[in-house]
């Protein structure tokens, strides 16, 4: 199967360098028209320059493709809306959004200011929200859309010094889960990429020879799978250095305690059954948990009524 994007329009945020640039260039090589969004800030979010975005546009045009540079700050909805408006004016549609823009402000929680925490949440979570909001009705009207969130192992599993980054990266999975449900009837599919790559954010943290094995292209291969017409849906794809895996959130089957036993002591007494993973499942939609617990309660009541006959 050949994965192509001919006739499609993609927006890639943070596409001036690193992973975003890699995603944008490969989308263009495979036929997409690409909006290169980049504020041009440093890794910590300071400064701004449109030079990087224009450079990527030049590369795409040199290969015979079409691209548009835009320096929208993803935390500013008006700027994001202007970016989307320009894409619509130029090409008349938006098929793909890859939310890649991000910054770091790493510190232990005790040393981190609330402003440093809020800034990261604003960029990673609200930046993704703003971009999704700006394209959502367009994708609904087209009856087609593919959105990729960028999450992280720091969010899914934790990482010292990254409470702000981890919280933001886990939050985009919550955004994904509900957008999947709301977008289903309009053929809008939403997935998440958890990358490991030798980008600017790793410089100085690990040896160069290790960084050299973590190529952006290895991550981009996964990103493009998540945004093509036959993409999966509600998938968290982990990719880096040639390794690919999927992460899912499971819930154990759990136990039921009758009203008289619903105490902390009984919860502790039945802990082994609560954490037993033998019948764990992936729940699609929060109401499935309610249905499961209500079902356990009904089964218990029916068993009690049967015993009284």
Q: Which residues are catalytic?
A: 165
How far apart, in Å, are the Cα atoms of 134 and each of 13, 56, 144, 172, 190?
A: 13, 23, 15, 16, 15
- Cβ contact 11:135 at 8 Å: yes
Structure tokens given for 192: 């998440």
> What single-letter DSSP state applies at residue 125?
I
Looking at the DSSP bridge assignments, the partners of residue 9 are 33
Are 143 and 187 spatial neighbours (Cβ–Cβ below 8 Å)?
yes
The strands making up 9-12's β-sheet, listed across from edge to edge, are: 67-70, 33-37, 9-12, 96-98, 145-150, 188-195, 236-240, 243-247
Token pair of 211, please?
Answer: 């960084």
How far is the CA of 263 from the CAs of 4, 62, 296, 297, 303, in angstroms? 57, 69, 17, 16, 21
Beta bridge partners of 243: 240
């Amino acid at each position: 199967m050949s994965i192509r994007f001919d006739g499609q329009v993609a927006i890639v945020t943070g596409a001036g360098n690193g992973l975003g640039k890699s995603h944008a260039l490969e989308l263009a090589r495979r036929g997409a028209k690409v909006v290169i969004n980049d504020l041009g800030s440093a890794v910590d979010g300071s400064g701004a320059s449109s030079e990087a975005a224009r450079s990527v546009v030049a590369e795409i045009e040199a290969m015979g493709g079409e691209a548009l540079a835009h320096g929208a700050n993803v935390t500013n909805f008006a700027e994001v809306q202007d970016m989307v408006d320009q894409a619509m004016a130029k090409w008349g549609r938006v098929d793909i959004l890859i939310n890649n823009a991000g910054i770091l402000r790493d510190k232990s929680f005790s040393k981190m200011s609330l402003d440093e925490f809020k800034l990261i949440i604003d960029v990673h979570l609200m930046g993704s929200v703003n971009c999704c909001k700006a394209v959502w009705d367009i994708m609904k009207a087209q009856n087609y859309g593919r959105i990729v969130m960028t999450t992280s192992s720091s969010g899914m599993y934790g990482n010292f010094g990254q409470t702000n980054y981890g919280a933001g990266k886990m939050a985009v999975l919550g955004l994904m889960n509900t957008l999947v449900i709301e977008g289903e009837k309009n053929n809008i599919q939403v997935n998440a990429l958890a990358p490991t790559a030798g980008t600017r954010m790793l410089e100085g943290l690990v040896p160069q020879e290790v960084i050299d094995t973590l190529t952006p292209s290895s991550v981009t291969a996964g990103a493009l799978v998540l945004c093509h017409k036959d993409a999966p849906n509600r998938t968290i794809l982990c990719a880096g250095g040639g390794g690919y895996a999927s992460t899912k959130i499971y819930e154990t089957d759990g136990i039921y305690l009758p009203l008289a036993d619903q105490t902390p002591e009984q919860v502790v007494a039945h802990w082994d059954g609560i954490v037993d993973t033998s019948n764990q499942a992936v729940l699609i939609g929060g109401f499935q948990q309610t249905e499961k617990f209500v079902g356990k309660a009904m089964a218990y009541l029916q068993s009690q009524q049967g015993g009284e006959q």
